[in-house]
Copies of this chain bind each other. A is one copy, B any other.
């Protein structure tokens, strides 16, 4: 399989460039009988839509999704679901000047090296615009997970540059443009972002994603472990440079007595594992964190070469998010949802209704 398909049983294949006529995807393998509408998918798309606050790109895209197949009389039929979003705000002319530039920290050089030619308009296929289709496909997965298993996948911004959150209040995440679960930090974030915009610079971010209600037993050792597939899924998001499960890199300095999540009849006493043991879900909350690099398109000039090898100064004038991490929350949720539905299907394939004697309570999820 080529590189634009995600999943083994619930397969999402996407196409589309930033400034081409349309983006689209095919969701193949969706179980039949799920009630789904374009409106429901649209709700998720609107969460990542550009132009919703001053802290994100000002490109204005309706991102209106159409269902072209696979749904009949309001329900999925088990046949492939074709989804389409037409690009309305293309403005190719904005990007004409970059045709011969190799922008530092962008994919300009690597796409060119790989393919020998590239669609330079707005980054072409390498643009984060592509992630709209992941969110659309993820919306279907999220609905199914919730309805069939009560699984809820939710994300939040856990760090914006130097600003770390102190508390996790899920109810706050939708109340500010940062997906920040700590209301007290929002003013600080606003001030930080305004200074950054003024400076013409950008900043990295850390996003966290949790899934609650995940049954024990998901994951296919030894290579398709749940955590390995999550790492694949999350690292495939534009700008992601790191992935952690549970305690993540903090594990390096932990002793065994500290890291191991002890178990009592009340359940797990901690969750350093992040809900995965031996590559298989434990029934605890599934927890992952990702690091996103700062946006590469800056108003501050940077040294680079043109496509003839001559030194140039690159200055970006287009519409860009000063922190790409902010809008990544729904994308990360979508990817975790896609991993989970795929693994539930793999588990159903192999094991049907396995019965065993004991279920350990999820216990503490912190």
Contact = CB atoms under 8 A, between A and B. Distances in A.
Interface in A258-291: 258-265, 269, 272-274, 276-283, 291
A222 interface: yes
Interface stretch (A44-52, A118-126, A182-190): A118-126
Given A204-B252, A260-B302, A303-B263, A28 B3 contact: yes
Contact of A17 (B15, B79, B162, B205): B79
Interface in A290-343: 291-296, 298, 300, 302-305, 307-309, 311, 325
A345 interface: yes
Interface in A55-87: 66, 68-70, 72, 75, 77-82, 84
Contacts of A346: 3, 9, 349
A358 B107 contact: no
Contact of A110 (B20, B254, B282): B282
A152 to B, nearest CB: 20
Contact of A252 (B5, B159, B233, B303): B159
Given A115-B351, A242-B251, A257-B300, 4 more contacts: A22-B82, A31-B352, A72-B117, A252-B292
A305 B265 contact: yes
Contacts of A209: none
A259 B204 contact: yes
Interface residues of A, number: 160
B125 A216 contact: no
Q: Which 5 A-B pairs have the closest CB atoms?
A: A107-B278, A3-B220, A2-B29, A202-B256, A3-B224
How many copies of the shown chain assemble into the complex? Answer: 4
B264 A311 contact: yes
Interface string A232-255: 111110101111111111111111
A291 B111 contact: no
A173 interface: no
Contacts of A204: 251-254, 259
A221 to B, nearest CB: 6
Given A5-B28, A303-B264, A345-B350, A221 B72 contact: no
Contact of A280 (B13, B31, B107, B308): B107
A8 B247 CA distance: 31
B241 A249 contact: yes
B162 A16 contact: no
Contact of A26 (B26, B113, B125, B273): B26
A277 B106 contact: yes
Contact of A15 (B82, B111, B219, B302): B82
Contacts of A112: 356
A191 interface: no
A21 interface: yes
B251 A114 contact: no
A126 B345 contact: no
A23 B351 CA distance: 24
A66 B24 CA distance: 13
A300 B17 CA distance: 51
Nearest to A112: B356
A262 B222 contact: no
A213 interface: no
A33 B105 contact: no
A216 B259 CA distance: 39
